[in-house]
Structure formats: structure tokens, C-alpha cells
Structure 1
């Protein structure tokens, strides 16, 4: 080895050591779903271009994630530099001054490419306060082979009556095949996301124009009654413990005839881990007979930076990478275009390579574009939101109501008791919060 070579190797080692010594570690709080876990597996692409930034992951179940990040940001705890939060939290927290504005993303990020419905939900006065990792609405995913075996056909735009008929026809409990799988796990973003969207399609609303809840009214009564009928007669056992991940596993294992849930699940039910990948069809979220409203569901998981972070520049570099067109292409190169994070960028739905391998793309985009968060119900409302109500108090109220409905599903209380309890607790919490304002 020459002296020059030795010197160069020594200098390289010193530089590497110096970079390691001076590396900033950013802590990322995220949810334990498939897309986010996939992202963690691809971060070498980020760190090779940012050797001065190290990533520390805190990966949590959805309800736990919401609880921890809400507590941390409200108390300015500073545990996390990047938060995975929904379009429910972003505008509320931005108005509180808890989030950094993302109006200066790196060149080439192309914020104009974001779908308007998704960008609008995470902006305040036209300024982004988070970057969308993926976006979703809700739709029906169903087994085409079981539907054919039952001698039935799923309409593109079905009613709840048609869905219940199909669920009955596909149920074969002796062989552990359940006609329908729906969320039952308590939580404002778990069972209440689905049940609120279903209630919207039944003509229900959370509050009248005086902010009085309406759980004891006919629309909510019909919603919960039909939900419990479907789950008890045609659903899997132990459904009150099933959320998104549990139902995804059931569907992939071939145990669900239908699953009505987030459009983002489509790439997983048609992916390599699904035993029924070649027999999956898609249809619009149902509407109640005679009511022209297919329910409203608009959600995005977004990456945001708390104003309390001392590592904002490093955090912003990561957020820009994880939500960029480059990241979408990286996923496609590693796992195919069908696995690309859906529902955020117009360019994905203009990409013929994606459309060729994603049979769910058209229904996903249609479902997202159809949402009007200012009018989720056919009745007049004093709030905005889709499968949630966009007020700070909703996290607590929604989860408490979800616990009542999960108890009804578990057979601990009747539907009427659950609705009465929901009415009483919601009235109490809204009075404490000072509504109407």
C-alpha cells in the first residue's frame, strides 16, 4: 500500500467517523400498517444521500399512536420530530400553532401534483401543514368467485340491501367463510370511521344545527341495527376486536366474502400475500335504498413536523423524501407499481404503468373525488368532516361512542342501550366543551 493510498483511506475513515459523530437522529412516530412498514424497509435510499441524518422509528398500533402523539404535541413534550397523523388532526393542530408550515419544500417536490381533495384537507389558508403519504376513501372489496358461486352479481353502485343479500349468500360458517367483514374494534378512527360513513349513507348526522347529537333518531337506529345484523349473522367471531389489520388478514386468508374499508387496502388484497388475489372485485361504498348518498370517507396518513422539534431541517428532508414522486418510483422499482402509495398524486393516476397493474385505481380515484367533506350527510350540518367530525373534542367523544357500539357488537348491551348511552355521553361532553358556540 502506498503512502498516498494509506492517507486517502485514513481520510475517508476520518470523514465517516466525523459524519457519524455529527449525525442528527430524528425520531419518527408512525402507524403499524403495511405501507408504513414498507417505507421503513426502503429508507437506505434516504440515508445514503443523507449520511448526516439517522432515523429512529417508533411504530405503534393506530389507537396507541394517536394517543401518544396527541399527548406529546399538546404538552410540547418533544419526543418526536416527525409525526404520522391524519387529516383530522392537521388543520386543528396547525391552527393551534403546533405544526410547522411546509410551504418551502425542496425543489422538484411538486406540491401542485397533489390531489386537491387530499391537499385541501391538510392545508390552512392554502398552506400545507403536512405532506400526504397516502390517501384513501372507502369501497367494497369482494370475492368474485364466491359471488359467482352464489349466483349473484355485485353492482358497481350497490345498495345496503344488495350488500346484505350478498353477505347472506356467501356465508359458509362451516368452512370459516364469512359473508362480510367490518371494523368492530372501538376507536374514533377504527369502528367509528366505518359506522360514521355508514350512518352518512343512511341519512344520519352526528349533530343537528344546534350541536345536539341525534343517536336516538331513526337514521342512527337503522344504521346500528343493520350493522349489528350483518356482523352477528354473516361476520366472523370476535369481531369487536377486529380493526383494519385484522380484517385485512381475514380477507387475505380467504375468510371474507366482502370487506368494506379503506381503498388503500386494495393493493394488499390483490398482492402476493393474498390467497385470493386473482378473485377480487371492487364496488362503490353502498347507499341506503332511496337515499342518494354513498357515505363519505376521506382520510390521509400524513407526515408532519411538530413546532417543538429542534431538528426541523432534517425532519423536512425526510418528509420530502417519503412523500415524493421519487419515493413512489422507488416502491415501484422494488415491489411493482401496484404497491405504490395511492391517493395522493395526480401523476400516479395518469401513469399507464400503474393503471395497467392496479385494477382498483379507477374506483379509488372516483371514491376520493366523490367526497364532499362540507356535506357528508344529506341533512344540513354545523360541522365539516367525512367519517369524523372536525372538532377537537371528537377524539374523546368518538372513541367513547365507539366503545358503546363495540359493547353492543360483543352482546354486552342492546343496540337501543348503546344508542342511548351514546346520546347521553355526547350531550354531556358537548355541554362541557361549551357548544353551541
Structure 2
């Protein structure tokens, strides 16, 4: 995505890349990583052809699809019957067991091939993966209800503090965070306790509340090597959950510890889904912010990815005059007031922004900003602010705004 910045192409073409090309490429690459074909080019060509067939299926009526499905079932039955006859002929012509074994192996290989796309509803045991799963007419995405595991208020408070330390959960709003907390299960460990094992399938990811955990990888020589030690606030096991791949490492508890496990479905629907929803929501919202209206959709999407949400109760101080500034604020919901020396100088509401002066001029905060109502703000840290925004243009805008 960052490579688009160096391309001198129109906003329309950038939007085409972001909205149309990327979703297809990401889905195809995720499936390739899952299957790991020796020659990826034929695999990708076949995947694109199957994708095209799925899209064409959407134009068929229900009756046409039913007819095609019945014809396909009939053809599959004939093929299976012909396989049986062919097997008998081969056995009669060649009594060598190897020939029969090869035939059986060929049959097994045929069984591994996926049926045509309009037969997909019959595949009830396929492993689900949000990263690689294509949802459509024949694979409807069902409404998700997260599991709820009973916890004490003390456990919820502890878990909330742990998740706040983790970048992985930074995109969650209050409601999403509560859903994740409700779905997590406490896992207590003792010295030497194996939490996950390299090569195993993974249906859970883990967040550490307390204790130290060694992550090790077994090399080709069969020797395990510790590559990282995780502690409170760290997480592990997310790659297997994201991409439906085997565990990339083993994790063992060094001593007594506590970690929380989160299931695949909740992770993909809530945590992974939150990032996508956040980008869409924030990109749309940023288009209404005066200082960002001249940006194209791609530039606003970059800012959206860097934003963090914070909430303040009425009367809370957002920033204080004279303090060093390290954040830029945009009001998403609510009202706030700026004051200098106790005198109100400006009011803010949804879509307004503040805090840019300290970042542009590397000065202390010029005013104190207080929440007049319950306030929800989007924040951008100083590094992202200077990297993503045209500071020189903002300086001129700031001079006009505050004079």
C-alpha cells in the first residue's frame, strides 16, 4: 500500500487499487499461503477462474442453479460409476499390486479435488478462515454470536487492563472490547506447561496477563531454539488463527502464569473485522473534517489506519495549557471547550480538531481543552501526524484559525 505514494496516478486509479484489486489479491494470496502449491502460477490462474465462475453464478436464477446442481450430481455419479468399471478393467489387465495401488491413489487424488462452485453448500466440513474465505451466494456469511464465559468483575477489570497494553486490540471500541472480554477463557500455567506446539492446528490465540513464556522454533536439525520470551500484554498464536496455518512456533510457560485464550471465530469476526470497519467508518468521517477535505480517499485511509479512539466523561480535561503535546485530536462525538487562563476562547463539536499547534510548532499546549459533554475523540500521535499530514500547509491554516 505504501508504494502507491510514489506512483503518479490519479485518485480514481488509487481508489480502484484499494477498493477492487486489493480485496481479490489479498484473498488469493491468503489461499496460496494456506495451500502452499509448489508452482503458484497455475494455482493462482485456477483460483481466479474459479472466482470468475462464482461471480457468474450470481447472475443465474434459483431455478437455473438448481438445474445445474442436479446435472452436476448426475455427472458426478456417472464419473464414479465409470471409475469403478475402469478399476475392474485395470485389475484384469495387470495383476500387479502397484498398479492397483496407483489407481487407488489416483482415486484418492480425485476425491481431494473440490467440486464445482455450485456444489459448495455440500462442503460442510471445510475449515473456516476469514482471511481466505470467499462469501457469496453459495457460502452465506452467517450472523455471528460470540460465546460468553462467566467472569468476576475483578477478572474483567484485569483483562481489560491487559488488552489495553496490546496493539492487536487497539482498534476495538468499548462494545467490541466487552464482547472480546466476555469470550475469553482464563488459562493458568505452571513451569514447563506447553501452551501451543509447533506444527499443530491452531483454533485459539492467547494474551498474557502474567508470567513469562518462551517461544521456540524447531529447525531442520530438530533442535528447538528459543527466539523470544513473551510477558504481560504480549500475545501469541494469532498467525495460525488468522491464516488457518499450522502453529509456527511452540510456546512454553517458564513459571506460574496466567493467559487468556480467544477462539478463532470471535477473533476473526470482532478483532479482525474491527480493523476493516474502523477504516471504512473513519475514512468516511475524515472526509467531513475541514482540514482533510482536499485529501484523496487513499490518503484519508492511511490516516484512518493510524487513528486511535479515546473517550472522556463530561468535565474531563483532554489537554492542559503549558504541557508538552504528543497527540492531535479530532472530535468524533460530543462537545468541548478551550480556555486560556480560565477564559473560554473556543468551542468544539463533532468534526472539529485541536492540538495541532503544539505538534506543528514544537511548542507547549496553547490552551486547556475540557469535555463539555461525554466526548469521543480520534487521536493521532505526533509521529504519524508529521508523517501523514502536510505540516507546512497546516501551519498556514492554523495561523488563520487562531488569529
In which range does the TM-score fall when normalised by the shorter chain? Answer: under 0.3
State the TM-score, normalized to the length of structure 2: 0.27
Which structure has the larger Rg? 2
TM-score (norm 1): 0.26
More strand by share: 2
Q: 1 or 2 for the larger relative contact order (CA 8 Å, sep ≥6)?
A: 1
